Amino acid sequence: MAVQNLQSVPAELSPEELEAAAQRDADGQANFDRVMAEDSRIEPRDWMPADYRKSLLRQISQHAHSEIIGMQPEANWISRAPSLKRKAILMAKVQDEAGHGLYLYSAAETLGQSRDEMMDALIAGKARYSSIFNYPARTWADMGAIGWLVDGAAICNQVPLCRASYGPYGRAMVRVCKEESFHQRQGFEILLELANGTAEQKQMAQDAVNRWYAPALMMFGPPDDDSPNSRESMAWNIKRFSNDELRSRFVGMMVEQVRVLGLTLPDSEIRFNEDTKKWEHGPLDWNEFKEVLAGRGPCNAQRLERRREAHDDGAWVRESAAAYAAKQVNKQKEYAA
């Protein structure tokens, strides 16, 4: 019997041990297949195929990084919020995003990679995070557009992830989605107020929607025929819907909501296709998407630089926490002796 999952095999094995390891893998695979067929959940201590673990780590760590880098465009506006109330709301939202990052790093850690390793990869520019956060937030109306469109796209993408087959990821998503709903409403409300303000304010809101619309649609990932991870991810019940399917749903939601705002979406080709029963939108610039993913978007360098600075500035906190933890361990040892 061949050993399927090398992670479960220690370095030097006798033929008997090898046989036992192969049996464990076969049993593990059978259990994994059953869980997938029943659409139930895999937990951290369960056997899982190495590729499933790798793909989850890939997606969850990227997701965590997105939450952390995603704090930047909005944090830039905290000091310039137009009122104390707006400042308090925006601060709470940005703090929520930090919390989402923490839940997600914790979920990713259960798969065997430490938060330090993930953070090092981000800081070294080796890790992905959502393309959307490489665009600048130019005016206060951008806080509205980010909340409404970006958090709206995030909810659309993440509600199905609440049913992801990996327990810690799915559970983290439940809380994240609840908080994202509040975020989207606050964005919508900012835009609504501006859209009902002076002609200049309404124009500012429209301009923000015009700039964030296409990048928000690209958050759902490349078109289905150019999405190398989708097939496996859907077979493993991580993703429930394809990138295009979710993008189409999102467009349908936004079409209704933009009417309430009294604004327009910068896309004259949006239509509901009666044959497919799907919303369609105009072409997106996938070359721009590729450029952003390659690190050449409008703010990629600035976002990473800021994250590096924040990491360096926080070194004393990590050192203090480690020194305190070491002290506690020593105390325990002394107490036990």
Q: Which residues here bind ligand BYC, judged by CB under 6 A?
A: 58-59, 62-63, 66-67, 70, 97, 128, 130-131, 150-151, 154, 157, 218-222, 227-230, 233, 239, 243, 293
Least distance to ligand BYC from the beta carbon of 179, Å? Answer: 10
Cβ-based nearer residue to ligand BYC, 173 or 195: 173
Least distance to ligand BYC from the beta carbon of 71, Å? Answer: 6
Return the number of other C-beta atoms located less than 10 Å from residue 241's C-beta. Answer: 17
The helix/strand/coil state of 101 is helix
Least distance to ligand BYC from the beta carbon of 191, Å? Answer: 15
Q: What are phi and psi of 279, to 5 degrees?
A: -80, 140
- Whole-angstrom distance, CA of residue 130 vs CA of residue 152: 14
Helical H segments across 146-284, by residue range: 151-158, 167-195, 199-218, 230-235, 243-261
For residue 4, give the DSSP letter.
-
Least distance to ligand BYC from the beta carbon of 266, Å? Answer: 19
Least distance to ligand BYC from the beta carbon of 69, Å? Answer: 8
Cβ-based nearer residue to ligand BYC, 208 or 218: 218
Cβ-based nearer residue to ligand BYC, 22 or 71: 71
Q: Which residue has the tokens 């070359």?
A: 287
Q: 290 is written with which tokens? A: 């590729």
Cβ-based nearer residue to ligand BYC, 21 or 221: 221
Q: Residue number with the shortest CB distance to ligand BYC?
A: 70
Nearest to 64 by CA among 114, 137, 14, 23: 114
Cβ-based nearer residue to ligand BYC, 183 or 202: 183
- Whole-angstrom distance, CA of residue 237 vs CA of residue 233: 6
Query: Which amino acid is residue 94, in one-letter code?
Result: V
Least distance to ligand BYC from the beta carbon of 152, Å? Answer: 9
- Whole-angstrom distance, CA of residue 214 vs CA of residue 286: 10
Query: Which amino acid is residue 336, in one-letter code?
Result: A
Cβ-based nearer residue to ligand BYC, 147 or 202: 147
